[in-house]
Amino acid sequence: MAAADSDFAISTSTCPHCRREIPSSNIALHSAHCARNLQKCEHCGDMVPRKLMDEHYDENHAPMNCSLCKHKVERELWDLHTGIQCPQRMLACQYCQFELPAVDLYEHQDVCGNRTEYCQSCRKYIRLREWIGHELQFHTILDAASELSSDKTPAAAAEQPVPKPARPATGSLHKQLLLTVAITGVAVLIGSILYQSKGK
């Protein structure tokens, strides 16, 4: 049994070039081949065939040229640049959905948010930037339902439809409303957790 175990326990040596564990009986041949044919990439540490090192660098480490802003960007930062940092990336205005470069978006939204839409329920013109707050303050379904239930009998309230405010034709306002409600809910949850932990 001990002889069988010694057969399976093969001694290894570490290749000084690639730092891999190689059977001791093959280390001399491996080391010569490894030193002659492979090169360690100074960027990622991978062992790459010498003749493919330029191709490896170009595909994995070479800076990339951004076609929008004309800057050179490290490949590791490419997703961050195209998603958040590039000043020429296209973004949609939250009020009109018009796409324009990020560098121009703030100025555009400042003007676009001052446009007004007519609120059918109030019969007033409301600025787009104030539309969601206006809707929450004056036209929530809960307010309308409570008015109906307090003024009329249940049968009369069932006959009357709950008035809904007319909204601008942009879908982003609805998304913004949902986002605002979600953020408020998370803030309340975090606040209650912190309040409970202080009480203990």
Q: What is the mean pLDDT of residues 158-176?
A: 50
Q: Is residue 3 predicted with pLDDT exceeding 60?
A: no
What pTM did the predictor assign? 0.47
All structural domains of the chain: 12-50 (no CATH), 93-141 (3.30.40)
CA distance 138 to 117: 15
- Express as a percent the part of the chain with pLDDT over 70: 73
